[in-house]
A and B are shown apart, each in its own frame.
Chain A
Amino acid sequence: MGVMTNEEIYRKYADDLVRFATGLVGPFDAADVVTDACLRSFRGKDWPQVLNHRAYLYRSVLNHARSHHRSTLRRRVREMRAATPAIDWPYEVDVDVLAAVDRLSVQQRASVVLTYWEDLSAAEVAKRLRISEGSVKRYLARARSRLRETLDE
């Protein structure tokens, strides 16, 4: 296998990473989080030794999303609710969905996106995020019950 340049790696995974980040921090900051995470990864001294680029970048995005202030999404949602007609986003924004997601921890969001969007099994999610399979299942169980509460409201 030839060695891929960082640009090739980035092109290969950027779309998936942005979607993943959208699940973690919402659409507004997803691109920034991915750019930051990738830049940091590429410059990290571990990077040349990394074998599984995708898993590494996913974790990097997750870490950046976690340090991204949790309240940001909440504030954005409030802003959106207050000013939906005035703001014209380049993509359709579903405020209710974001409000529901805001109730979840970042780890719960990550587990939901990987399970329901990427269709990974709990074991695969666990491997991707480097956490235990039991944790993945707990995250999912809690996420589901919280989301259900929100959806029922």
Chain B
Amino acid sequence: MSDQDPADRLDPSVRELTYRLMGMAPDAPSFPQEAAMTVPETKQRRPMFVWATAVAAVVLLVGLPLFLFRGGDTAPDDVAATLASGPTTTVVGEPTTTIPGGTTVPVPATVDAEFSVYLFSDSLTTAGGDPALVPVHWRAAPLEGASLWQEAMRVLFSSSSKIAGYTTALPVPFDQGSVRLDSGVLTIDLPAEFESGGGTMAMTTRLAQVVFTATQFNGVDSVLFMIGGEVVDVFSSEGLILDGPQTREDYYDILPFIFLDTPAINLIAPSPVHITGIANVFEATVLYEIVDGNGNLLNSGFTTASCGTGCWGDFSVDVPYDVPQETTGEIVVYEESARDGSRVNELRYPMTLVPGNDGPVPSTTIPPESSTPTSLPGEAFDIGPLAGDVVGVVGVAHDDVLFVRDGPGVGYEPFVELDPLADDLVATGRHRLLESSIWTEITAEEFTGWVNSRFIGFLGGVDDLTSFAVDQLGGIPEAETMLDLGEMVAAVFGSTDEGGSRIEMSVAPTVGDLGEVTFDVVGLADDAQLGWRLHIFGQPTEGGEGFSLMSVEATALCGRGVTEDGLCV
């Protein structure tokens, strides 16, 4: 199941477009008769030592750091363990209805049963525009003898889960006796009809609803699906493969980038609101707001997930608020765009706000105005430019800027914007390690502030790597525009794995007698060499239709410092 990718299949417009594209495919050409002769290709390469040097350079500069980076890429799995256990029940007041050890402890018959039912929202969507899976608060009469998870399953599969504004993919009523919990695995035996209808996506959404609803309870770790008494390993005609008991982790793909698990939608949430969820966001920073029905901001702030920028991490924060009387409101979570600071991946859950006994809310938890050493987030970190080192901005697109902020972290206000080629920044030697980012304090003539260390580096020596690029591209590349030419050349220095390196055009193309463009290739995940700044020159082709590569001047971008010879330390 973890290798299924339902969110990617949900978009009918992309599927249609793909089918239209495939509809244009010409017939396959007949077998090329030259290929009948299986003569191994004779080597017509440049002298071996040149080639070997180039290969060695690639291995050194790209291969090793890539390998290291891939290792880091598996981080989401580590997070999964902490997430799979899920939240506790959404109980208002006494937290007495969790199920210890997965046994069937009945809820006291005097307490309303409260939990979340996971449905698909008609109005909230994932970043990809697909309906988002959301927890909807459910309150039932006191249970008599049944467990919370039994009641939750009953509600989920019954017509009562058809709530206006939400969609359920589960049409099949089923027998309560066919669910059992054993050692944290909830086994559910479904009728054969469950498999029918819908495509892979529909089936995945059904399974996700069951898994999320079941695993919200302590003591339920995973769900094993059976059909007609047999464990399912391939689901439905769509060939959905389930590798054993399913956990939430198997369904992250269909979540929005910020998934808010509590408070559930429509919950009456007294102050402070316990906000929990998982997120896969830039710098792991999740911002939140509590607003009342009139749009007044009651509180706001940010929290960090346990992992970020390409991996899923969990977050949890208690947010106080104060209202004079019971009112409707919303909890809002969002992320600031790494590019321009705009609000993205926003999710709004309606909830009911009630006056609390907490008295007035202290000031919002927005970061402090000025940074003092004791109040900085994260921990001190001693790897990075030393005090007095001169560093430059790297890996920032030509139409973008690097923000200098009041403090370490994207929660702090930016107050200076640095040019993509700024190279006169002096490090103060202070660094802070946050959950998923490292921040460095820099100073220039007019200011002192913090920048994300990903976007600074030492500028090393310049090498002419024209022949390397030509060799890699199998000839002198040509392209219609300098932009295209630059992209082709830069791709040689990056890696095929998009996660392995980042390519930004740091200077837009200029075209005179010659064409010129600059690309930064960064993120090689090597402490010493972060990447290259490629100054690419092209000359007009004879036909005047484009440019052919003339030269590539590569400036090493170093992470720790530069020797006198311009090499990365």
Contact = CB atoms under 8 A, between A and B. Distances in A.
A binds B: yes
Interface of A: 6-7, 10-11, 14-15, 17-19, 22-23, 26-27, 30-31, 34-35, 38-40, 42-45, 47, 66-67, 69-71, 74-75, 90-94, 97-98, 100-101, 107, 112-113, 115-117, 119, 121-124, 131-141, 143-145, 147-148, 151
B15 interface: yes
B18 A75 contact: no
Contact of B21 (A22, A34, A136): A22
Contacts of A98: 21, 24
A6 B41 contact: no
B41 A45 contact: yes
Given A30-B26, A90-B26, A144-B14, 16 more contacts: A19-B22, A22-B26, A27-B25, A27-B26, A31-B27, A31-B28, A45-B40, A71-B481, A93-B24, A98-B21, A116-B19, A122-B3, A122-B8, A131-B497, A141-B128, A148-B129
Nearest to B126: A141
Contacts of A6: 35-36, 38
Contact of A40 (B21, B29, B41): B41
A151 B17 contact: yes
B111 interface: no
Contacts of A14: 28-29, 31
A112 B14 contact: yes
26 contacts: A15-B28, A18-B28, A19-B22, A22-B24, A23-B18, A23-B21, A43-B40, A44-B41, A66-B491, A67-B474, A74-B480, A92-B24, A94-B20, A113-B22, A121-B5, A122-B8, A123-B5, A132-B73, A136-B5, A137-B253, A140-B5, A141-B127, A144-B8, A148-B14, A151-B13, A151-B17
B488 A132 contact: no
B340 to A, nearest CB: 16
B104 interface: no
B40 to A, nearest CB: 5
B488 A31 contact: no
Contacts, number: 179
Contact of A10 (B20, B35, B498): B35
Nearest to A143: B14
Given A35-B29, A141-B128, A69 B8 contact: no
Between A74, A94, A116, the greatest number of chain B beta carbons within 10 A of the residue's beta carbon is seen for: A116
A42 B38 contact: yes
A135 B499 contact: yes
B4 A107 contact: no
Interface string B87-129: 0000000000000000000000000000000000000000111
Contacts of B70: 132
Contact of B479 (A27, A38, A71, A138): A71
A96 B478 CA distance: 26
B40 A44 contact: yes
Contact of A135 (B31, B34, B498): B498
B25 A30 contact: yes
Contacts of A93: 24
Nearest to B128: A144
Interface in B16-71: 17-29, 31-32, 34-36, 38-41, 70
Given A35-B32, A115-B5, A144-B11, A18 B25 contact: yes
Contacts of A42: 35, 38
Closest 6 CB pairs of A and B: A123-B3, A71-B480, A14-B28, A116-B18, A122-B5, A22-B25
A131 B497 CA distance: 6
Contacts of B81: none
Contact of A147 (B13, B39, B253, B477): B13
A124 B239 CA distance: 13
Given A27-B26, A147-B13, A113 B478 contact: no
Interface string B463-478: 0000000000110011
Contact of B480 (A19, A69, A90, A140): A69
A90 B249 CA distance: 48
Contacts of B26: 18, 22, 27, 30-31, 90-91
Contacts of B2: 123
Nearest to A71: B480
A59 B527 CA distance: 31
A113 B18 CA distance: 6
A97 B24 contact: yes
Between B18, B479, B488, the greatest number of chain A beta carbons within 10 A of the residue's beta carbon is seen for: B18
Contacts of B29: 14, 18, 31, 34-35
A121 B3 contact: yes
